[in-house]
Amino acid sequence: MKNQNVKETVKKIFTEYLTVHGHRKTPERYAILDTIYSISGHFDIDKLYTVMAEEEKFRVSRATLYNTLILLINARGVTIQTPVHSQVPTIHTLHSTIRHNWMAQILLIS
């Protein structure tokens, strides 16, 4: 239930962000947001692509995934972090950020 509330809050924030910045509110963008918030734990772009294609039966291009992630990062709906032990950035939802008591900020470590 708590995760659903967080997802709805992020959806509202994302919608406001898209409106203010003149971006289209497409079904693909909202499907990506829903999928992101349905995955438990941290994940990378490849897992997101796989889950959308195989489990959600919703095919989007990798370009659409990356572009939507950029919009979600800018809207503060997700964060990106590259763990010290890995070269692959992982995606964190606002729910996981709150659950782990992390600050809601973008961490891009190259």
pLDDT digits (tens, 9 = 90+) for 21-77: 999 999 999 999 989 888 887 778 888 899 999 988 888 998 999 899 888 888 876
E runs forming strands in 1-110: 78-81, 90-93
Q: Specify the amino acid at residue 7.
A: K
The residue among 19, 21, 38 whose CA lies nearest residue 93 is 38
Q: Any idea which residue has 């979600």 for tokens? A: 72
pLDDT digits (tens, 9 = 90+) for 7-22: 888 888 889 989 999 9
